[in-house]
């Protein structure tokens, strides 16, 4: 995929590019490299997968790094969220293609990596919401927080033992401390 960012591509051309070890997103007609996940991001992705595994079994698909075909500001957009959940109502259980997610997820999660800012991901969260995603979670491993972005409410930041309960995910309840503990990343925010 050398030079993929140098020329404009259609979404179909982007999706047909040869596989590579790099992670790519489709943004404004270009293939844009996504920062490779670091250890904390990988651990948090796995913890989310574990948390959602039993809860989602009869509800939908909870996946790490699944390219998602969306429309942003009238243009095709294919972000690669760190984690996402899409219900069987939006993408039927019978769907089984080796392809980008063709449905709008209820939830996408992005983990702040070294070299990224919360502000960059907050802007991306707004893009997700504008594309029809119901919830966006941004997890900050340094601050040990999880910020929930809603389509119609101000974002809300959770820390420590505050319970995270959302009517969009009935029966799913956890805290940031529990999530970080499950990820093997306990401890207080660094100063």
Residues 99 and 170 in one domain: yes
Per-residue pLDDT of 25-70, as tens digits, reads 788 888 888 888 889 999 999 999 999 998 999 999 999 999 999 9
Domain encompassing residue 20? 1-34
Task: Please tell me which of 117-121, 132-136, 151-155 the model is most confident about, judged by mean pLDDT.
Answer: 132-136
pTM score, two decimals? 0.90
Question: How do the residues of the chain divide into helix, strand and coil, expressed in percent and rounded to 5?
Answer: 25, 30, 45
Position 2 scores a pLDDT of 38
Q: What is the mean pLDDT of residues 74-86?
A: 94
Query: 36: which 2 tokens?
Result: 């490779």
Query: 151: which 2 tokens?
Result: 């389509």
Residues 18 and 42 in one domain: no
Residues 97 and 140 in one domain: yes
Percent of the chain with pLDDT over 90: 72
Residues 90 and 178 in one domain: yes
- Give the strand pairing for 107-111 and 135-140: parallel
Residues 18 and 49 in one domain: no
> Domain tally for the chain?
2
């Amino acid at each position: 995929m050398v030079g993929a960012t140098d020329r404009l591509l259609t979404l179909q051309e982007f999706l047909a590019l040869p596989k590579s070890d790099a992670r790519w997103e489709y943004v404004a007609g270009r293939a844009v490299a996504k920062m490779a996940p670091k250890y904390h991001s990988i651990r948090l992705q796995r913890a989310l997968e574990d948390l959602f595994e039993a809860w989602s079994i009869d509800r939908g698909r909870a996946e790490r790094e699944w390219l998602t075909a969306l429309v942003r500001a009238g243009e095709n957009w294919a972000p690669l969220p760190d984690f996402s959940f899409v219900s069987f109502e939006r993408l039927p259980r019978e769907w089984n293609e080796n392809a980008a997610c063709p449905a709008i997820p209820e939830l996408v999660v992005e983990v702040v990596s070294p070299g990224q800012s919360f502000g960059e991901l907050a802007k991306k969260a707004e893009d997700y919401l504008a594309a029809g995603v119901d919830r966006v979670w941004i997890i900050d491993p340094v601050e040990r927080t999880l910020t929930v972005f809603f389509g119609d409410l101000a974002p809300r930041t959770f820390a420590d033992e505050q319970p995270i309960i959302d009517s969009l995910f009935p029966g799913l309840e956890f805290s940031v401390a529990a999530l970080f503990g499950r990820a093997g990343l306990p401890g207080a925010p660094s100063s």
